[in-house]
């Protein structure tokens, strides 16, 4: 789970790739791309074109189970439950 500086949060935060974010939020990858395009979540786009979503913004965007209240918990849930390829 990479950490990047989120300019919106003003600090380094956990970031999820699109597949992880979609899985964590229980939405399609298309929806995640829409959120990025509409700036509904904080996204970092690497020079390679790969996109990562700030976990803090994802938590605010979606209503997770009460156990998932912070980015670290979200990351654990994703890691535990997600066999999806990255990308
Ligand atoms: Zn952020």
Q: Report in angstroms the alpha-carbon separations of 82 from 17, 19, 46, 72.
A: 12, 9, 23, 15
Q: Find the 23 Cα to ligand 1 centroid distance in Å.
A: 18
Report CA dihedral (87, 60, 42, 79) to the nearest 10 degrees.
-30
65 compared with 84, residue with greater pLDDT: 65
- Cβ(81)–Cβ(45) under 8 Å? no
For 38-73, write each residue's pLDDT tens digit: 999 999 999 999 999 999 999 888 776 666 667 777
Could you state, in order of their start, the residue ranges of all structural domains in the chain? 3-81
19 compared with 82, residue with greater pLDDT: 19
Q: Find the 15 Cα to ligand 1 centroid distance in Å.
A: 9
25 compared with 70, residue with greater pLDDT: 25
Query: Which DSSP letter does residue 64 get?
Result: -
Q: Find the 83 Cα to ligand 1 centroid distance in Å.
A: 25
Q: Find the 59 Cα to ligand 1 centroid distance in Å.
A: 10
- Domain 3-81: give its CATH architecture: Orthogonal Bundle (1.10)
pTM across the whole model: 0.78
Q: Report in angstroms the alpha-carbon separations of 17 from 66, 68.
A: 22, 18
Average pLDDT value over all residues in the chain: 84
């Amino acid at each position: 789970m990479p950490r990047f500086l989120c300019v919106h949060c003003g600090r380094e935060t956990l970031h999820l790739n699109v597949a992880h974010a979609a899985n964590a939020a229980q939405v399609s990858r298309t929806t995640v791309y829409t959120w990025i395009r509409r700036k509904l979540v904080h996204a970092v786009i690497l020079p390679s074109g790969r996109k990562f979503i700030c976990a803090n913004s994802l938590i605010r965007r979606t209503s997770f189970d009460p156990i998932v209240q912070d980015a670290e918990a979200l990351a654990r849930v994703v890691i535990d439950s997600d066999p999806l390829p990255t990308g």
